[in-house]
């Protein structure tokens, strides 16, 4: 069986295996990034126009593109509907971006850690992913400058708002400095903001793309975290010079995104009802986050360090005694607990042991203590320091 060379880089997805294991109802899963069932709104299809059955435009429905552009302008990103491309989930935006830029060996600048599925998609297309470390304030600016002086990446892939997995929110000063550096070196920015609306402590900052003077940019977003992931509606907004090839790539990928889904999203985006829904979702997740933080303090204070995320769906734990957290998975699953090891979120996994990502939105509060206590026990059992005590 002769597959393409790139298939040799197609990783059997760890996420996929973990999520499959976490399907068992008895499993307490801290692994995924699924919205809580309680946060999925009931939607009404009764007004769906009949005309949407026909083929649609590759760019997306004009009215939805307008609404997405209007929302982006509210965020502070100056753009028109022409610059919007509706995608089949924001995952598809990553696929289109990879096709647009990547040959084998093309350098791409990524955060360390970064979103696992983006890393996998870029590496699948042959990218050489150059990591720049995150600090609690955003990107490590000295490291960023050094990286850019060494090699010119095809683009920088950044998640400045409630970064996945770390939860980091780039500060205002850090955003300005990163934008200036990307402009200085003429590096294209891909800014991924799926968690932007899941903000629990004040409004999110202006997109980094909006602060560029010179570099090309692609801003991506999703309705999966705030509305319904099953609709598969995401989008990208790009600087004008990128639109023509991106549209052709979208057409080649799936012609266009489901028009009924696009219509449904349009019923929400920018509406008062959507505003109320977002308020409720934020309040719900804020409470879950705070409860999770308290439970973490009870069970993990001696084991790990963490920051309280101001948005998104994850805590990012650094073990005090680093060990390869991938080796903990089987023991955790045997105790009906699932989590995401931290190593795969790095371009060089083996250099970053001792981190793990815990989702706080999914496990019911009444099962939280049981789940975290079991996970803490699994970590203690695997840690030499504790074994010796």
Residues 300-329, one symbol each (x = binds a second copy by CB under 8 A, - = not), give: ------------------------------
CA 202 to chain centre: 20
Euclidean distance between CA atoms 127 and 98, whole angstroms? 8
Measure Cα distances from 209 to 49, 186, 187, 215 in Å. 35, 13, 12, 9
The full DSSP string for 50-97 is GGGGS---TT--HHHHHHHHHHHHHHT----GGGEEEESHHHHHHHHH
Question: Is residue 89 within the footprint of a second copy (CB under 8 A)?
Answer: yes
Should residue 106 be labelled a site residue for a second copy when binding is judged by CB under 8 A? Answer: yes
If one asks whether residue 71 binds a second copy (CB under 8 A), the answer comes out as no
Which range binds a second copy by CB under 8 A, 72-80, 168-176, 225-233, 319-327?
Answer: 225-233
365 binds a second copy (CB under 8 A): no
Identify the residue among 54, 202, 366, 387 touching a second copy (CB under 8 A): 54
Alpha carbon distance 180, 215 (integer Å): 10
User: Residue 31 CB, nearest distance to a second copy (Å)?
Assistant: 13
Q: Which of residues 111-130 bind a second copy (CB under 8 A)?
A: 117, 120-121, 124-125
Closest CA to 226 of 195, 193, 184, 253: 195
The Cα 295–Cα 370 span in angstroms is 10
Candidates 146, 248, 308, 364; binder of a second copy (CB under 8 A) is 248
Residues contacting residue 149 through CB under 8 Å, at least 6 positions apart: none
How many alpha carbons fall within 13 Å on the CB side of residue 356?
A: 30
**284 sits near a second copy (criterion: CB under 8 A):** no
- Near a second copy by CB under 8 A: residue from 212, 228, 319, 355: 228
Verify binding: residue 149, a second copy, rule CB under 8 A: no
Interacting residue with a second copy among 22, 29, 35, 131 (CB under 8 A): 35
Q: Edge-to-edge, what's the strand order for the sheet holding 217-222? A: 84-87, 234-238, 217-222, 188-192, 155-158, 107-112, 128-135, 138-139
Task: Identify the residue among 12, 384, 387, 388 touching a second copy (CB under 8 A).
Answer: 12
Spell out, one character per residue from 258 to 277, where the chain touches a second copy: x when CB under 8 A holds, - when not.
xxxx--x-------------
Q: Contact between 176 and a second copy (CB under 8 A)?
A: no
Buried b / exposed e along 69-105 (16+ C-beta atoms within 10 A)? bebbeebebebebebbbbbbbbbbbbbbbbebbbeee
Among 48, 180, 323, 331, binds a second copy (CB under 8 A): 48
Token couple for 140? 């490590």
Candidates 58, 83, 226, 325; binder of a second copy (CB under 8 A) is 58
As a whole number of angstroms, the distance between CA 40 and CA 53 comes to 25
Stretch 342-361 residues interacting with a second copy (CB under 8 A): none
Residue 334: exposure state from Cβ atoms within 10 A (0-12, 13-18, ≥19): exposed
Give the residue, chosen from 151, 172, 240, 251, that forms a contact with a second copy under the rule CB under 8 A.
Answer: 251
Q: Is 214 in the site for a second copy (CB under 8 A)?
A: no
Using the minimum distance from each CB to a second copy, give the nearer residue, 89 or 344.
89
Q: Does 213 bind a second copy (CB under 8 A)?
A: no
| 280 part of the interface to a second copy, by CB under 8 A | no
Judged by CB under 8 A, the residue of 22, 29, 31, 56 near a second copy is: 56
Among 31, 69, 129, 154, binds a second copy (CB under 8 A): 154
């Amino acid at each position: 069986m002769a597959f393409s060379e790139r298939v040799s880089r197609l990783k059997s997805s760890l996420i996929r295996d973990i999520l499959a294991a976490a399907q068992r109802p008895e499993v307490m899963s801290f692994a995924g990034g699924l919205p809580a069932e309680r946060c999925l709104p009931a939607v009404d299809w009764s007004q769906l126009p009949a005309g949407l059955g026909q083929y649609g435009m590759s760019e997306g429905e004009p009215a939805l593109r307008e609404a997405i552009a209007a929302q982006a302008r509210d965020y502070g990103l100056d753009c028109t509907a022409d610059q919007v491309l509706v995608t089949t989930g924001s995952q598809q935006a990553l696929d289109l971006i990879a096709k647009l830029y990547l040959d084998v060996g093309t350098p791409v600048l990524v955060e360390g850690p970064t979103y696992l599925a983006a890393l996998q998609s870029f590496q699948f297309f042959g990218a050489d992913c150059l990591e720049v470390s995150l600090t609690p304030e955003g990107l490590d600016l000295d490291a960023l400058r050094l990286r850019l002086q060494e090699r010119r990446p095809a683009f920088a892939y950044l998640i400045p708002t409630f970064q996945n997995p770390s939860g980091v929110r780039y500060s205002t000063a850090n955003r300005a400095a990163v934008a200036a550096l990307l402009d200085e070196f003429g590096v294209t920015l891909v800014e991924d903001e799926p968690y932007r609306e899941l903000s629990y402590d004040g409004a999110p900052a202006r997109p980094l793309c909006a602060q560029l003077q010179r570099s090309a940019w692609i801003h991506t977003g999703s309705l999966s975290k705030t509305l319904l992931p099953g609709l598969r509606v995401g989008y990208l907004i790009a600087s004008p010079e990128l639109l023509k090839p991106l549209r052709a790539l979208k057409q080649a990928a799936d012609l266009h995104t489901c028009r009924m889904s696009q219509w449904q999203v349009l019923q929400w985006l920018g509406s008062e009802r959507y505003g109320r829904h977002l308020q409720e979702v934020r309040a719900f997740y804020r409470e879950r986050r705070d409860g999770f933080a308290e439970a973490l303090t009870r069970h993990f204070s001696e084991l790990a360090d963490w920051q309280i995320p101001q948005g998104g769906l994850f805590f990012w734990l650094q073990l005090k005694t680093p060990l390869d957290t991938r080796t903990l998975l089987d023991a955790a699953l045997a105790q009906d607990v699932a989590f995401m090891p931290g190593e795969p979120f790095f371009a060089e996994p083996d250099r970053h042991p001792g981190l793990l990502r815990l989702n706080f939105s999914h496990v019911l509060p009444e099962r939280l203590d049981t789940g975290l206590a079991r996970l803490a026990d699994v970590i203690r059992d695997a840690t030499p320091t504790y074994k010796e005590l």
